[in-house]
Structure 1
């Protein structure tokens, strides 16, 4: 008789095949860069991301999901180590990462990055700022850790490729967990070996389904990515074990989460370019994949001054796969409206302010004149379009056809102009909550963040 096969279940197969030591490479790079290694544009772009993040977090403070998380944190208790942004109450760093990360994504008004295929700042900023506040870290420390975390997650996103996202995984949640772990590792002063282990602990927690878009679970993804990444780094610091090759290992993250990897894309320009520079910012309070449609319609409106009553039909074409992200045909809530190309086209045609948060209210999506416009919009997909682009064709009742192509996936060339736009957005988000004086002080503090000796100076302003 054959003897039963004995398998040592604690030993997973070794790394295989195509991508040797990419986890180690990224861990060494992330823990090795210093503030002085960052380009001036990377430092400036980091400030842009952090200012925008603080603004959208404060704007999301009163959202029901944020308040539920705060209530749960108060019920759980814990050490008062870091503040809830815009509120001032102090909770543990873990709770702060969860609450602030979720609040910052609650309105879906935060930045995006195409190589991540998601939102780069929301998993990383809550972690580095909470740890910075707790430990009295400098602005330079926070900027460096933030840039390192964003770099890691965006490079992993490029390495993993689009099939991960297209399959139904929310990259902000899954890959963002690695960014949070790397950012936390930098703040905690972990070496590259411990950072790689933290990435392993992060990878085995990474989760988040796109089927949850339009519900409270989508912003929760960002908060859990931040919280889980922080937990991973804290555990690695304590000696918790994991695999140091989680990205490339057989049955590791890439093996289970993507159809094909692209290591040259993941390591593109390592030590030469910084992913944070390519962050894209939202000036419409909806899913970023609706922005090209909105901008195309705005361009047509500027040229033709269309009257909504004269619209016969509207044809929107987006890249294949976009409908799975923002294709809710008839939204029943304001949150669903943010993920509806048809609704976003309707409000753009109607001339509603697409930057205003209340444009995406439960009441607005049911307005009869908007529903009438929405029903005139059809959405199609095309393989050849750029990732973030859209084509819009508007037919009027008098037989005129208007066409516009727009690509919102191109990073801003003028950082000074981008800062000015973000300052205006920040004021709109924060003035109603904290008042003008604190708003202007936060803007100034972030602008000069690399001169700040203790990040608690910034945290004191958002209380």
Structure 2
């Protein structure tokens, strides 16, 4: 317990002392790219009918924080909750294989909403975003959830708390108290909810952002304490917690540089198989000749083998659907999982031929590789085999540049929207008050 208290204290001191002027240029650039991607996919999510209905049902009151892409501003907490939902709506949000989840989606909506309210400067906002990401990713590394638990809404709350506390100008002990309180507010979500297509999975991210805000406000009021809560909540209750990863390489290893961007609107565990399927399609694979498809993967992805789905989210967590969609349509953009495309008879028929298995040799490569090996049996020909070590977009395998992210957003948004998101993301660090620029995002 003492080691957890000490690690959180050190992490809080580091986050409180973080200055944008001291951050290496490569790290600044990567955070800017994460911000660009995150804002862009939030706009895409905000334009979905399900998200518009959610906003309408929420009836958000007036306030200073933008509902990104939704045409309104609202209170800090409402913006944090709804923007986090929009960001995760289509499974396009940035992730991190070592954290085993999504640091940005757990924390960036809360920090940006609070920054808009406070009228924070660009450098202060970027420092808070970076602190939030790094703390969340380190908590993801430190936490091993119980089998069946979904990572949304658990370890990432600490990141939201750290970023918001940093933005509120709290000293090291205050940031540490916020982190500890945030770690005591996790969601205990089951992975089956995602497989079943239950959107409560998106709400877990909204809860994480709002809980991070609450933890930071508790610390600002002096009613939060650093007592080693992560070892109890994330450890004893939800799994196992090791404090050492919280401070390993602190200030020298930047986790924001090790994440991945998603070019497919689906669970990241399906991406290597989708990439392999697209390579086969480009090589002239004839769909009518396919007799069967074997997808071998690692154990983290072993539960995504369902060949039926009754909603968009369920389809996005089905490797057979994603592989079939990639082969039929040549893309796994959001359009292929929309109501008018999801039940395409060609996709249904091909998905029924896909079998998912865990391969020990691929499992042994975790966490550095999240590999997939796809074997397609065809009529009258030898099997076709393609193995992919990591999805395209991983920092260690075909990383995406700013041009790649802009091209991705260009497929999903109109040019004016892409231009506006790019201008806000690129210019935020240089502003004296981020509020006006962030509120511009509401009108995209």
Please give the alpha-carbon distance, in whole angstroms, between the structure 2 residues aligned to 1:203 and 1:265: 15
Structure 1 residue 59: deviation in Å?
1.0
Please give the alpha-carbon distance, in whole angstroms, between the structure 1 residues aligned to 2:421 and 2:281: 36
Q: Assess if the C-alpha contact under 8 Å between 2:178 and 2:216 holds in 1.
A: yes
Of 173, 190, 200 in structure 2, the residue corresponding to residue 209 of structure 1 is: 190
Matched, 1:459 2:438: yes
Q: State the TM-score, normalizing by the size of structure 1.
A: 0.88
Matched, 1:418 2:401: yes
Q: Assess if the C-alpha contact under 8 Å between 1:202 and 1:229 holds in 2.
A: yes
Of 291, 302, 316 in structure 1, the residue corresponding to residue 295 of structure 2 is: 316
Which structure: larger Rg?
1
Give the corresponding residue for 1:30: 15
Please give the alpha-carbon distance, in whole angstroms, between the structure 2 residues aligned to 1:254 and 1:384: 29
Structure 1 residue 460: deviation in Å?
3.8
Give 1:1-400 correspondences, 5 Å limit: 15=1, 19=4, 21-74=6-59, 77=61, 80-161=63-144, 164=145, 167-207=147-187, 208-213=189-194, 214-248=197-231, 251-259=232-240, 261-302=241-282, 304-324=283-303, 326-354=304-332, 356-385=333-362, 386-387=365-366, 388-400=370-382
Give the corresponding residue for 1:11: none
Please give the alpha-carbon distance, in whole angstroms, between the structure 2 residues aligned to 1:42 and 1:350: 38
The verdict on how the C-alpha distance between 1:242 and 1:264 changes in structure 2, with shifts beyond 3 A counting, is: closer
Structure 1 residue 186: deviation in Å?
0.9
Q: Assess if the C-alpha contact under 8 Å between 2:262 and 2:268 holds in 1.
A: yes
Structure 1 residue 48: deviation in Å?
0.9
Please give the alpha-carbon distance, in whole angstroms, between the structure 1 residues aligned to 2:83 and 2:129: 15
Structure 1 residue 69: deviation in Å?
3.8
Structure 1 residue 262: deviation in Å?
4.1
Please give the alpha-carbon distance, in whole angstroms, between the structure 1 residues aligned to 2:411 and 2:434: 24
The verdict on how the C-alpha distance between 1:32 and 1:113 changes in structure 2, with shifts beyond 3 A counting, is: same
Q: Which moved more, 1:81-90 or 1:311-320?
A: 81-90
The verdict on how the C-alpha distance between 1:287 and 1:413 changes in structure 2, with shifts beyond 3 A counting, is: closer
Q: Assess if the C-alpha contact under 8 Å between 2:5 and 2:227 holds in 1.
A: no
C-alpha root-mean-square deviation of aligned residues, in Å?
A: 2.1
What SS class does the counterpart of residue 272 from structure 2 fall into? Answer: helix
Give the corresponding residue for 2:383: 401
Q: Assess if the C-alpha contact under 8 Å between 2:278 and 2:327 holds in 1.
A: yes
Q: Assess if the C-alpha contact under 8 Å between 1:156 and 1:175 holds in 2.
A: yes
Q: Assess if the C-alpha contact under 8 Å between 2:299 and 2:358 holds in 1.
A: yes
Structure 1 residue 242: deviation in Å?
4.1
Matched, 1:440 2:424: no
Give the corresponding residue for 1:9: none
Cα deviations across residues 165-184 of structure 1 (Å, max 9, x unaligned)?
x5222223101111111111
Q: How many matched pairs? A: 432
Which residues of structure 2 form unaligned runs of 5+? none
Please give the alpha-carbon distance, in whole angstroms, between the structure 1 residues aligned to 2:376 and 2:9: 51
The verdict on how the C-alpha distance between 1:218 and 1:35 changes in structure 2, with shifts beyond 3 A counting, is: same
Cα deviations across residues 123-166 of structure 1 (Å, max 9, x unaligned)?
211111111111211222221111111111111111123xx0x5
